[in-house]
């Protein structure tokens, strides 16, 4: 499954970056996430993430944090792949935030994969809306 969601936000890249790079507060925007950091340094956070719906465990998501770019590698459990957030300038004091999911729903029965995809896309749209509201 490869999906991209995008939203233009009326805020500078720096302002949006302060939100998306603060992994400790990620559940404020990406609801249904429970995050516990196992190891954190300046650019990488290794952690365990539980997604609330159906208590799907995504263990050891590793994020690379650099200006304008966040990537999470989902390496264990039923969801394997990457979740990437990219910030791009979009004009005067505006930022385009793009979220790309490139994941495989490996252990989820075929019958439920469409439902899971819809929940991920809905959750992404809602997170982008929350981020937009937070910076206004």
Q: Give residue-wise pLDDT tens across range 56-84.
A: 555 445 555 666 677 777 666 667 788 88
The pLDDT > 90 percentage for the chain reads 19
The token duo for 82 is: 């990457």
- Across the chain, where does the E strand assignment appear? 2-9, 33-40, 44-51, 56-66, 69-74, 79-89, 95-105
User: In this predicted structure, what is the pLDDT of residue 59?
Assistant: 47
The predicted model gives 4-32 an average pLDDT of 86
SS3 103: strand
């Amino acid at each position: 499954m490869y999906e991209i969601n995008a939203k233009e936000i009326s805020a500078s890249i720096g302002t949006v970056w302060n939100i998306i790079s603060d992994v400790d507060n990620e559940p404020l925007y990406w609801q249904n996430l429970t995050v516990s950091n196992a190891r954190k340094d300046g650019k990488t956070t290794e952690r365990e993430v539980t997604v609330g719906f159906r208590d799907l465990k995504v263990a050891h998501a590793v994020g690379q944090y650099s200006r304008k770019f966040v990537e999470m590698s989902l390496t264990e459990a039923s969801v394997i792949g990457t979740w990437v957030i990219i910030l791009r300038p979009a004009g005067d004091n505006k930022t385009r935030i793009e979220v790309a999911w490139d994941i495989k729903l490996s252990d989820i029965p075929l019958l439920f994969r469409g439902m899971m995809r819809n929940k991920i896309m809905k959750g992404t749209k809602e997170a982008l809306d929350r981020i937009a509201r937070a910076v206004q």
